[in-house]
Structure 1
Amino acid sequence: MKLGLIPKLLIGIIIGILIGLFAPQWIISITETGRVFLGNLIKFFIPFIIFAFVAASIAQLKENAGKLLTFSVGLSYVDTIIACTIAAVSSYLIIPKFIANRTFTDVEGAEIGEPFVEIAFPPMMDIMSALVLAIVIGLAASWGKSKLIANLVDEFKDIIDVVIRKFIIPVIPIFILCIFTGITAKGEMTSAIVIFGKMLVLIILLQLVWLTIEFSLAAFIAKANPFVAFKAMLPAYVTALGTMSSAATMPVSLRQAKTIPNMDKKIADFVIPLYANIHTAGAALTLTISAITVSIITLGELPPINLIIVFIIVLGIVLTGAAGVPGGSVLATLGILQSILGFDEVGLGLMLALFMVQDSFGTATNITGDGALALIVNRFFGNKGTESA
């Protein structure tokens, strides 16, 4: 029987905890070697992931330029930023209350085996350089007449998609195993598991709250019934729980969006496929909460508010092209977690584990929210937008 990613992650976490509890130090040294090696390997690919996703998503705008596209993309970005802001405010108010005196810095960690060898292969560029270069190349492809640049960017994104699906995703459970082995061996696991359980409950509750806000505001703007609109998108939510992919769920969400009363089918045909690839409010909300939690646990303090503001602004840009790839959202975010919030391999590994475990709920929130945004777009462009765009 072929196991899915979440079962593999859970197995990796369990095996890592068992190894950390009972294995001798030389075994711990092996897992620490794996942690450092795989951590360096993932960090090597991060700039390429950011460049591929962002550059390709901007380059694709050239054939669809117009008021409808500009409005739709801007609405998606604003929606994501608001979701992140609500998540950040909630995290600052709630998370410190159930983390008190349970951070890694409060635990007298045991000495564990050192890695047998550390192989360094630094990334070819830093994170912000990759982001700026992606924006420049993407804009050049979208504004200019060169099909070559656009095709190269698109093909490079396809290559990175293959790297993610065939290489990075398969090794993540092993990386998580190594991370949790070290955490357990140091005596930090007991406090972390309680915190993570509460955090996951908070994430799912806030995702449902955000969907309520999205559909309420969208229905108010579009003068529609929010309950009818949400009911129409419910099959897409359930489907996304199983697929964990906005792209794979898109046919269902497109069909369901067209059942929303007064929805212009041309608008649905345009915005739903678009939002399946750029709208990431559910994932962004999750990443914001997880980042603040992991920062407190590993660094011993809340991130400065100015850094969280920068993180949220950049996060909305980075996630633009990552929504359609399973696990793409968190992989694209690892770079800014490292460069802006200062996460090390342990912090990045915890973010991977936490995000992947709830990925189906984040994806379901993304894809269901697409229907709410479609309502707003339909309000301003229905029955006329596709012709003027």
Structure 2
Amino acid sequence: MPEKKKIKIGLLLQIVFAIALGIGCGYIFPEWLGRIFMTFNGLFSQFLGFLVPLIIVGFVTPAIADIGRKAGKVLVVTAAIAYGATIFAGFLSYFTSATTFPHLINPSPIDSGLKNAADLLPYFTVEIPPLMGVMTGLVISFMLGVGIAYLEGNTLRKCANEFRDIVAKVIKSIIIPLLPLYIFGIFLNMTVSGQVGDILATFFKVILVIFAMHIFILVLQYCVAALVVRRNPFKLLVTMLPAYFT
């Protein structure tokens, strides 16, 4: 008999399901069971914070090294473009938020909800401090990446590639599978503490504005890039949609 094909549920759908399940279970779970999930969330959050700098080092270092000996010049141009785009996006975000959010968000219900909130407490916590800060990780990645690009040996390059593979394996095997459970715990806690209604109403309004701004920025960036490479920006954007939606 032919093997049955396994139905794979995408990460985005898993997260949506986790949000709905977290809200529903928040009304029926006893406190002791909710605290188990809060304990998991505390551990997962600590591990995630520990992993972020390593993700930067693991992926940025070999990416810069693969550029080759022109890494230095390319990095200067890339950093200048990224800095200019960040400044533009920052001002756009500020003026958009200052214009729209005062009319969309009423802070009173949220404030009253937070004052009366009683969060679930974990049974225990474990601190996992990161080896370095995010900025330190970026500087080390740039330094190692440019250095590897200029060196003739392959020892550090091989180490960087293997470290990237290790980080990618951790993300694929631990972070992504457990992320829906982590989000489930967040919304479970919000429901138990009585915040979920006010927060979701505000969250939905904010997300709509953020989503519109994302689309505007992405289309603008791809149009500029398409002028350089002389290709259709929307065809280029379509290939990246799964990543952006995730």
TM range (shorter): 0.7 to 0.9
Give 2:156's aligned amino acid: I
Asked if the contact 2:54–2:137 (Cα under 8 Å) also holds between the matched residues in 1, the reply is yes
Output the CA distance in 2 between the equivalents of 1:193 and 1:21: 16
Aligned residue for 2:189, secondary structure, equals helix
The question of 1:149 aligning with 2:169 is answered: no
Structure 1: gaps (5+ residues): 223-228, 246-358, 364-389
Output the CA distance in 2 between the equivalents of 1:110 and 1:117: 20
Output the CA distance in 2 between the equivalents of 1:137 and 1:69: 13
Aligned residue for 1:118, secondary structure, equals coil
Give 2:136's aligned residue: 129
Q: How does 1:287-298 map to 2 (within 5 A)?
A: none
Give 1:3's aligned amino acid: I
Asked if the contact 1:32–1:178 (Cα under 8 Å) also holds between the matched residues in 2, the reply is yes
Give 1:160's aligned amino acid: V
Asked if the contact 1:56–1:138 (Cα under 8 Å) also holds between the matched residues in 2, the reply is yes
The question of 1:208 aligning with 2:215 is answered: yes
Aligned residue for 2:107, secondary structure, equals coil
The question of 1:89 aligning with 2:110 is answered: no
Asked if the contact 1:28–1:112 (Cα under 8 Å) also holds between the matched residues in 2, the reply is no
Give 1:234's aligned residue: 234
User: Highest Rg: 1 or 2?
Assistant: 2
Which digits, 9 at most, give the CA deviation of each residue in 1:117-170, with x for residues without a partner?
A: 223333233333333322322232233334222221122112111211221111
Q: How does 1:297-316 map to 2 (within 5 A)?
A: none
Output the CA distance in 1 between the equivalents of 2:213 and 2:161: 35
Give 2:204's aligned residue: 197
Structure 1 residues 76, 117: closer, same or farther in 2, change over 3 A?
closer
**Aligned match of 1:2 in 1, 8, 12?**
8
Give 1:9's aligned amino acid: I
Output the CA distance in 1 between the equivalents of 2:225 and 2:141: 32
Asked if the contact 2:39–2:123 (Cα under 8 Å) also holds between the matched residues in 1, the reply is yes
Q: CA deviation at 1:88?
A: 3.7
**Aligned match of 2:104 in 98, 102, 120?**
98
Calculate the TM-score normalised by the size of structure 2.
0.80
Output the CA distance in 1 between the equivalents of 2:139 and 2:108: 38
Output the CA distance in 1 between the equivalents of 2:157 and 2:71: 15
Structure 1 residues 103, 46: closer, same or farther in 2, change over 3 A?
farther
Identity of counterpart residues, as a percentage? 27
Structure 1 residues 128, 67: closer, same or farther in 2, change over 3 A?
closer
Q: CA deviation at 1:239?
A: 4.4
Q: How does 1:53-202 map to 2 (within 5 A)?
A: 53-65=59-71, 71=77, 74-75=80-81, 78-101=84-107, 105-107=111-113, 108-202=115-209
Output the CA distance in 2 between the equivalents of 1:120 and 1:67: 40
Give 2:4's aligned residue: none
Output the CA distance in 2 between the equivalents of 1:51 and 1:196: 32
Structure 1 residues 68, 98: closer, same or farther in 2, change over 3 A?
same
**Aligned match of 1:16 in 12, 16, 22?**
22
Task: Work out which structure has the larger RCO, using CA pairs closer than 8 Å and 6 or more positions apart in sequence.
Answer: 2
Asked if the contact 1:26–1:113 (Cα under 8 Å) also holds between the matched residues in 2, the reply is no
Structure 1 residues 201, 110: closer, same or farther in 2, change over 3 A?
closer
**Aligned match of 2:32 in 26, 31, 51?**
26
Q: CA deviation at 1:91?
A: 2.6
Output the CA distance in 1 between the equivalents of 2:190 and 2:214: 29
Calculate the TM-score normalised by the size of structure 1.
0.53
Asked if the contact 1:37–1:118 (Cα under 8 Å) also holds between the matched residues in 2, the reply is yes
Which digits, 9 at most, give the CA deviation of each residue in 1:176-211, with x for residues without a partner?
A: 011111111111111111122122221232233335
Structure 1 residues 74, 103: closer, same or farther in 2, change over 3 A?
farther
Asked if the contact 2:65–2:71 (Cα under 8 Å) also holds between the matched residues in 1, the reply is no
Output the CA distance in 2 between the equivalents of 1:208 and 1:58: 28
Structure 1 residues 111, 119: closer, same or farther in 2, change over 3 A?
same
Structure 1 residues 145, 105: closer, same or farther in 2, change over 3 A?
farther
Asked if the contact 2:63–2:145 (Cα under 8 Å) also holds between the matched residues in 1, the reply is yes
Q: CA deviation at 1:218?
A: 6.7
Asked if the contact 2:64–2:71 (Cα under 8 Å) also holds between the matched residues in 1, the reply is no
**RMSD over aligned Cα, in angstroms?**
3.1
Output the CA distance in 1 between the equivalents of 2:106 and 2:69: 52
Give 1:210's aligned amino acid: I
